[in-house]
A and B are shown apart, each in its own frame.
Chain A
Amino acid sequence: MIARVVRVSGVELALRVDERYVKPLRAVRNALRSKPIAPVRTDVGENGRNGSVASSALAAEVAGTEWYHTMDLGQGVVTPGFFDHRPVLDRYHLAASLAGARVLDVATYNGFWAFEFERRGAAEVVATDIERFADIDMAPARRAAMTDEELTRATGTGFGIAHRALGSRVRREIVDVYDLSPERFGTFDLVMCSDLLLHLTNPIRALQRVRSVTRKSAYIADLYDPYLDRCGPKGLLHYRGGIDDYVWWTFSLSALEAMIVDAGFSKVTMLDRFELVPRTMTSAPPHVVFRADA
Chain B
Amino acid sequence: MLKVKGLELAVSIDERYAKPLRAAKRAIRRLRTRASRRLVRGSNPAIVESPGAIERKRKIGVVAWYHTVDVGHGVTTPGFFDQRPVLHHYHLPESLAGQRALDVATFDGFWAFEFERRGAAEVIATDVQAFWDVDLSPARRACMATEELNHPVGTGFAIAHDLRQSRVKRQLVNVYELTPDRVGMFDLVMCSDLLLHLNNPIRALQRIRSVCRGWALIVDMYDPRLDPAGRDLVHYCGGVSETIWWTFSLTALEQMIRDAGFRSVRLLDRFELDSANAERLPPRAVFRADA
A residues sitting closer than 8 Å to B (CB atoms) are 1, 11-14, 16, 18, 137, 139-141, 201-202, 204-205, 208, 211, 228, 231-233, 235-243, 248-249, 255, 258-259, 261-264, 266-267
Instruction: Decide yes or no: A204 and B233 within 8 Å by CB, A232-B226, A243-B259, A266-B12 being known contacts.
Output: no
B54-76 vs A, CB cutoff 8 Å, 1 = contact: the mask equals 00000000000000000000000
Contacts of A248 in B (CB 8 A): 202
Contacts of B256 in A (CB 8 A): 239, 241
Of residues 213 through 262 on chain B, the ones whose CB sits less than 8 Å from some CB of chain A are: 225-226, 229-240, 245, 251-252, 255-256, 258-261
Instruction: Decide yes or no: A262 and B259 within 8 Å by CB, A202-B203, A236-B226 being known contacts.
Output: no
Known: A1-B230, A140-B260, A140-B261. 4 other contacts (CB 8 A): A139-B261, A204-B135, A236-B235, A239-B234
Please tell me if B6 contacts chain A, counting CB pairs below 8 Å: no
Q: Which residue of B lies closest to A18 (CB)?
A: B231
Interface size class of B (residues with CB under 8 A): 35 or more
Would you give the shortest CB distance from B247 to chain A, in whole angstroms? 9
Are the C-beta atoms of B139 and A262 separated by less than 8 Å?
A: yes
Roughly how many angstroms separate A130 CA and B288 CA in the complex, as a whole number?
35
Are the C-beta atoms of B225 and A262 separated by less than 8 Å?
A: no
Of residues 26 through 54 on chain B, the ones whose CB sits less than 8 Å from some CB of chain A are: none
Counting chain B CB atoms within 10 Å of each CB, the highest count among A12, A228, A236 belongs to A236
Are the C-beta atoms of A201 and B138 separated by less than 8 Å?
A: no
Instruction: Decide yes or no: A141 and B226 within 8 Å by CB, A201-B203, A242-B202, A262-B139 being known contacts.
Output: no
Are the C-beta atoms of B234 and A237 separated by less than 8 Å?
A: yes
**A-B residue pairs, 7 tightest by C-beta:** A264-B138, A140-B261, A202-B200, A201-B202, A239-B232, A235-B236, A239-B252
Are the C-beta atoms of B259 and A141 separated by less than 8 Å?
A: yes
Instruction: Decide yes or no: A261 and B14 within 8 Å by CB, A141-B261, A202-B199, A239-B252 being known contacts.
Output: yes
Contacts of A204 in B (CB 8 A): 135, 199-200, 239, 245
